[in-house]
Structure 1
Amino acid sequence: MTAATTSPTAVSAPDDAAPPSGRRRAAFHPLTVESVRSLTADAIEVGFEIPAALADAFDYRPGQHIALRMTLDGAEVRRSYSLCRAPAGGAAAPGTLNVAIKRERGGAFSTWALEHLKAGDVIEVMSPDGHFTPHGRYDRPARFAAIAAGSGITPIMALIEHHLGERPDDTFDLVYSNRTAVDAMFLDELADLKDRYPARLALHHVLTRERRPADLFSGRLDERRLETLLTRVLRPETVDEWFLCGPFELVERARAVLLRLGVEASAIRVELFSTGRDEHAGPKPPPVEVTPGEPVRTISFRLDGTSGTVTTPVSAGETILAAALRTRGDVPFACAGGVCGTCRAVLREGTVDMAQNHALEPDELARGLILTCQSVPTSDAVSVDWDA
């Protein structure tokens, strides 16, 4: 969830497309809800019990996310949520997996979860995925910084817990924006972490609809306020890696300011919770039928060691994911909005137009990875590999 692209990107299969990487297969497993606790009036933390037999499937790194799948009102819904606790050894007890769910405006799943989800319920959960994780492996003390807004705090919580708890010399700076103090998720947990690591954790709460003693921390995180914070408070030249998580506009604004201040793009990690588009709708194209004699694209794919082929009319403008789902219901995807990266695959042959990309980094694009939920074939034959 790093590279933000808002216009179609033409992608061709490179001559040296990435070889199989041993990536863990994204698969759903039914998990029992162990706990549900209130975080704010509009947010809850949900803990899932992990059976010993699935411990390896749900091993994860701080900063990763999972997808939840269930049926509501007769329709399948999938939602991606970041893991909000550090792996076992942090605040999460062994054998548990925790996410935070915040009510979204018009969000059917989040509304149902806040009003009805309870301990003992069973939900299908996808194995953890994502790379909102540190790039470097440091053999020295490292300094990390994060800018988060609203529910964007959830993966940051796991990162802070892990680095301060497991690496005794690392430090972390957090700028956390909310409308008011009562809207802030994990406020008590952050205060506890600050008490535990007073010299290694710096917290900077920014409230947009509530006055704080300092004007710098009162109001919207616009470019002027961000640049002031990043030049007077955080000093970018001393930070090894940055983590930006929240709405599209804030993340892009913060990224632009950091780049302007001389921060290398490779040191900025980005995760989006909203792009301003309906990325939660999922691939629901109209029924596709091929009329005899009509121009078509042929899509061949590899998934779980088996091969498949499907044709799609040129006129349909159908994505690779939507076409493949007509023949294989287990093709991996979660948000279908170009955000989570669950549907990524290697383009082995052919060319595509990728409408949105908020998940793949430049080096991944260079190695031939595409987001199949956003990629429409532009050559007569296209081949993709989900196993790579």
Structure 2
Amino acid sequence: MFHPLRVSEVERLTDDAVAVTFAVPPELREAYRHVPGQHLALRRGVRGEEIRRTYSICAPAVEAPGEPVLRVGIRLVEGGAFSTYAFKELAVGDTVDVMEPMGRFVLPPRAGHFAAIVGGSGITPVLSIAATLLAREPEARFCLIRSDRSAASTMFLEETADLKDRYPERFQLVTVLSREEQQSGLPSGRLDRERLSGLLPALLPVADIDGWLLCGPFGLVQGAERALHGLGVDRGRIHQEIFHVDAAPAPAAPAAAPAPAHATLTATLDGRSGNWPVREGESLLETVLRARADAPYACKGGVCGTCRAFLVKGEVRMERNFALEPEETEAGYVLACQSHPATGEVELDFDR
């Protein structure tokens, strides 16, 4: 559900990134009390078209009865309809439609040793996760391995330095710049699979890490995941969130059967069910949206996971999947924005 929230602060982080903070009125505090790692979908209209973009909450989670801090980091994307607006026009006092927090790339605070590999704006959810974890759980340790183009392009530089100063024995920070040499630390260059395979065992007791968080561009996350698998890390300890995909890789899975000439979708959303014919070429999300404007979605690119639904009946073909963990797809969950019917009848449940 969306609510209009007032912008309380716009902070310039780098030459191409800002942090935007929204004020939460008392009656909406519980609705916006996020779990560290969750994201917000922001909505605006441009020339009669609705635009939605998803941004992770970078502020630590606040327990009740405190006021939730809704702060997101937004990096300017060339030609980006929302990021350009946020970077160049958005000001304190403006109102933005903000969806309630969502997302499963989360780490509720608990004891243990955790590590994250992030690239660029992938720092945003991990910053919230690390800050909340270290503040609430004295038996937790966290290692942050971050990759950025240059020092000038590094988002939340002061915030991560503050964590290092505040928790010197429990927070380890490793910075790699891909296009700039550092006076100290690791040599410049990309964090690809080969480099991570040699670097990680030198930094951490890889086998003893309780959870790995991978966040950022598709190439970095894929390389990190393959490096960890090569080092013997079980997939159940690896959690990932893709922030950007340069090109469409191969489909998530081959079609189980040719697309039916006529298909019908039954969907349950917020306790109400409906039944509609699926038009040729449209996704199941598009089918639902024709009748239910409140159907959940943000990116429509198979990245954010906002449109996750449980496949109750039938079979579907998913074109792309960068949001669901293997355990979720095995349990029967699909991305409605990427799903097309492979049987004449399909049923989805958005409420599970």
TM-score interval for Structure 1 and Structure 2 normalised by the shorter chain = over 0.9
Q: Residue 325 of structure 2 is aligned with which of 351, 357, 361?
A: 361
Match of 1:308 in 2: 274
Which AA in structure 1 matches 2:263?
R
What secondary structure is seen at the aligned counterpart in 2 of 1:254?
helix
Q: Residue 61 of structure 2 is aligned with which of 78, 82, 87?
A: 87
CA offsets 1:224-277 (integer angstroms, 9 cap, x no match): 321221121123112110111110001000000001000110101101101224
Do the aligned partners of 1:204 and 1:217 also contact (CA within 8 Å) in 2? no
Q: Does 2:296 match 1:326?
A: no
Q: Residue 344 of structure 1 is aligned with which of 308, 317, 342?
A: 308
Q: Equivalents in 2 of 1:229, 1:170: separation in Å?
A: 22
Match of 1:22 in 2: none
Task: Give ranges in structure 2 of 5+ residues lacking alignment.
Answer: 249-259
Do the aligned partners of 1:205 and 1:217 also contact (CA within 8 Å) in 2? no
Do the aligned partners of 2:318 and 2:339 also contact (CA within 8 Å) in 1? yes
Q: What is the percent sequence identity of the aligned residues?
A: 45
Do the aligned partners of 1:303 and 1:386 also contact (CA within 8 Å) in 2? yes
- Offset, 1:89: 5.9
- Offset, 1:96: 2.8
Q: Equivalents in 1 of 2:270, 2:73: separation in Å?
A: 31
Q: Does 2:27 match 1:57?
A: no
Q: Residue 224 of structure 2 is aligned with which of 245, 249, 254?
A: 254
What secondary structure is seen at the aligned counterpart in 2 of 1:373?
helix
Match of 1:195 in 2: 165
Q: Equivalents in 2 of 1:96, 1:191: separation in Å?
A: 20
Q: Which moved more, 1:208-217 or 1:332-341?
A: 208-217
Q: Equivalents in 1 of 2:232, 2:10: separation in Å?
A: 43
Q: Residue 50 of structure 2 is aligned with which of 73, 76, 85?
A: 76
CA offsets 1:141-183 (integer angstroms, 9 cap, x no match): 4111011111000001001101111111211111111111011
CA offsets 1:282-327 (integer angstroms, 9 cap, x no match): xxxxxxxxxxxx94211111112222111124xx222100111111
Q: Equivalents in 2 of 1:355, 1:379: separation in Å?
A: 16
Counterpart mapping for 1:280-295 below 5 A: 295=261
What secondary structure is seen at the aligned counterpart in 2 of 1:326?
helix
Match of 2:256 in 1: none
Match of 1:142 in 2: 112
Q: Equivalents in 1 of 2:185, 2:198: separation in Å?
A: 11
Q: Residue 230 of structure 1 is aligned with which of 178, 200, 220?
A: 200
Higher RCO, Cα 8 Å, sep 6+: 1
Q: Equivalents in 2 of 1:209, 1:96: separation in Å?
A: 33
Do the aligned partners of 2:36 and 2:107 also contact (CA within 8 Å) in 1? no
Do the aligned partners of 1:32 and 1:120 also contact (CA within 8 Å) in 2? yes
Matched length: 340
- Offset, 1:215: 7.3
Do the aligned partners of 2:5 and 2:24 also contact (CA within 8 Å) in 1? yes
Match of 1:21 in 2: none
Match of 1:291 in 2: none
Q: Does 2:72 match 1:99?
A: yes
Q: Equivalents in 2 of 1:343, 1:311: separation in Å?
A: 19
What secondary structure is seen at the aligned counterpart in 2 of 1:84?
coil
Counterpart mapping for 1:103-114 below 5 A: 103-114=76-87
Q: Equivalents in 1 of 2:207, 2:161: separation in Å?
A: 27
Q: Does 2:24 match 1:47?
A: no
Do the aligned partners of 1:150 and 1:184 also contact (CA within 8 Å) in 2? yes
Which AA in structure 1 matches 2:150?
T
Counterpart mapping for 1:122-271 below 5 A: 122-134=95-107, 138=110, 141-213=111-183, 216-271=186-241
CA offsets 1:113-140 (integer angstroms, 9 cap, x no match): 10000111111111111111238x74xx
Do the aligned partners of 2:33 and 2:62 also contact (CA within 8 Å) in 1? no
Do the aligned partners of 1:347 and 1:368 also contact (CA within 8 Å) in 2? yes
How large is the Cα RMSD of the aligned pairs?
A: 1.8
What secondary structure is seen at the aligned counterpart in 1 of 2:295?
coil
Match of 1:116 in 2: 89
Q: Equivalents in 2 of 1:222, 1:362: separation in Å?
A: 22
Q: Equivalents in 2 of 1:29, 1:215: separation in Å?
A: 45
CA offsets 1:204-238 (integer angstroms, 9 cap, x no match): 11011111245743111122321221121123112
Match of 1:380 in 2: 344
Do the aligned partners of 2:213 and 2:238 also contact (CA within 8 Å) in 1? yes
Task: Give ranges in structure 1 of 5+ residues lacking alignment.
Answer: 1-26, 279-293
Do the aligned partners of 2:267 and 2:348 also contact (CA within 8 Å) in 1? yes
Counterpart mapping for 1:25-44 below 5 A: 27-44=1-18
Q: Equivalents in 2 of 1:159, 1:215: separation in Å?
A: 24
Change (3 A) 1:197 1:215: closer
Q: Equivalents in 2 of 1:224, 1:96: separation in Å?
A: 39
- Offset, 1:56: 1.5
